[in-house]
Amino acid sequence: MDDLSGKVAVVTGGAAGIGRGIVGALLDEGCRVVIADIEAPVLAAAVAELAGRGDVRGVVTDVSDPVSVAALADQVYDELGACNVLWNNAGVTSGGGGNPWEQEPNDWRWCFGVNVFGTANGVLEFVPRMIAGDEPGVVVTTSSGDGGIAPVPYASVYASSKAAISCFTEALAHQFIAQKTKLRAAVFYPSGGLLETGLWEAQRNRPAELARVRPRPPAPGTTFAEFREALAAAGRPTDIVDLDELGRFAVQGVKDGRFVISHNLDAAGALLHARADAIADGQLPPSALEGLT
């Protein structure tokens, strides 16, 4: 997959934020891109604005709904005949309280429905068709260092969902090799600085039937501004990532054949070594917050 020109790519949650940066980078590589997103007006605007950069189209999709994802796959194969890059990027935060015991069942249903079941639905619908197409391809999961590497304790549900899809993608990669397919998998950890994306306002798309029953308890860093202020007060870096540049970095990682696509892997490795040592000693592993100190 070092040459993406003419390949078909599907990016979920691609109308804004990190996903849009990925879409732009894929278009610049000559891909034909299908953006799947739940926000119809934002999706239409993104397609219109990106049309000058290549072959791009949008399909309104709810990744948590297997019927919606099946319709997406049907449309992609009917119109373009293939999918070479499946980028499971759509994600939300739970919107629950800062403490694990303050989360509600609907926080779990909402977050896991999009992050975990959304990833699963994409794989279930697209991968069998990708294997049958007998062309080289890659399935990329946008995870998070929060959970994928180590949890941030006050984002327990979100971190758990990201740990789940990192583990799932690793299993997927092993099975692609074991079954001698022409596919491979990769996990992308957005990184390199602060990420000012729509994830902070993900509740705007939360279905009414999955609303919280109780008011949300106060929790630290619930908005991007609060989070950035807290980092500044602690003397930590507050540089904001250029999402277009991050998209180019992620796509280059795919072209380079990397399984883990991330900045700062040395620091992640050091934290994972510390976690492994604690586990081997039967102790509580350090969290992602301790890895930042």
Q: How far apart are CA 236 and CA 200, in angstroms?
A: 20
- Residues with a catalytic annotation lie at 158
Full strand arrangement of the beta sheet holding 183-188: 56-60, 32-37, 8-12, 85-88, 137-142, 183-188, 260-261
Determine the Cα–Cα distance for residues 243 and 19; give it in Å rounded to an integer.
9
How far is residue 68 from each of residues 48, 110, 186, 198, measured CA to CA in Å?
A: 23, 16, 24, 22
Identify the CA nearest to 74 among candidates 129, 152, 35, 20: 129
Q: Which residue from 109, 112, 119, 116 is spatially nearest to 211, judged by alpha carbons?
A: 109
* Fold of the CATH domain 8-262: Rossmann fold (3.40.50)
Q: Are 115 and 165 in contact (CB under 8 A)?
A: yes
What pLDDT score was predicted for residue 192?
82
Tokens 């953006």 correspond to 35
CB proximity list for 101: less than 8 A, separation 6 or greater: none
Helix axes 105-133, 156-178, angle to 10 degrees: 20
Q: Which residue from 59, 63, 48 is spatially nearest to 9, judged by alpha carbons?
A: 59
Distance CA(116)–CA(189), nearest Å, equals 15
Distance from CA of residue 190 to its chain's centroid?
A: 8
Question: Dihedrals φ, ψ of 35, to 5°?
Answer: -95, 125
Cα distance between residue 21 and residue 51, in whole Å: 14
Q: Which residues share a beta bridge with 5?
A: none
Per-residue pLDDT of the chain (293 residues; tens, 9 = 90+): 899 999 999 999 999 999 999 999 999 999 999 999 999 999 999 999 999 999 999 999 999 999 999 999 999 999 999 999 999 999 998 876 678 999 999 999 999 999 999 999 999 999 999 999 999 999 999 999 999 999 988 889 999 999 999 999 999 999 999 999 999 999 999 988 777 676 656 677 789 999 888 887 666 656 666 666 766 676 767 777 889 999 999 999 999 999 999 999 999 999 999 999 999 999 999 998 886 54
Quote the pLDDT of residue 291.
65
At 140 the pLDDT is 98
**Per-residue confidence (pLDDT) for residue 257, from 0 to 100:** 97
Query: Domain segments of the chain: what residues?
Result: 8-262, 265-293
- Indicate the SS3 state at residue 184: strand
Residue with tokens 């990184």: 191
How high is the pLDDT of residue 218? 66
**pLDDT for 233:** 73
SS3 284: coil
